Amino acid sequence: MSNIKYINNKQAENLIEENDELLILDVRSANEFKESRISNAINIPVDELEGEIYELEDYKDRQVLVYCKSGKKSSVACSLMEEEGFSKLYNLRGGILDYEGPIVNK
């Protein structure tokens, strides 16, 4: 059974509102992250995630919301994280393009 749940915009907003311990992980490039991001997100680009995953060790058993621009890179990131033992992963379908909650802009 997969530890990855694919959620929509509204479900993501609810998850963020209801969980102070939630890690929000943006897997887009550093430049995209600087332009706009979901509030309180951290950035580890998907192509750097494998080498940086140790930094997220404390979140293996906590809820992690992963997003990118459209949902494709975050799906790859979720699969990698699941292989590394992360158990509560949420992938934002449609990525930041479909997200309607609070966004931090440059």
pLDDT of 2-52, one tens digit each? Answer: 899 999 999 999 999 999 999 999 999 999 999 999 999 999 999 999 999
Tens digit of each residue's pLDDT (9 = 90 or more) over 60-89:
999 999 999 999 999 999 999 999 999 999
CA–CA separation, 98 vs 78, rounded Å?
A: 18
- pLDDT value of position 58: 95
Query: Which residues are the active-site residues?
Result: 68
How does the average pLDDT of the chain come out, rounded?
96
Instruction: Provide CB contacts within 8 A for 74, sequence distance 6+.
Output: 27, 46, 66, 67, 68, 91, 92, 95
- How far CA 94 is from CA of 29, 64, 85, 97, in Å, comes to 17, 17, 25, 6
Half-sphere exposure of 18 (CA within 13 A, CB side): 9
- The pLDDT score that the predictor gives to residue 26 is 99
Task: Choose the CATH number for 4-105 among 3.40.50.2300, 3.40.250.10, 3.40.50.880, 3.40.1160.10.
Answer: 3.40.250.10
Tell me, what's the pLDDT at 106?
80
**Backbone torsions φ then ψ of 54, nearest 5 degrees:** -60, -25
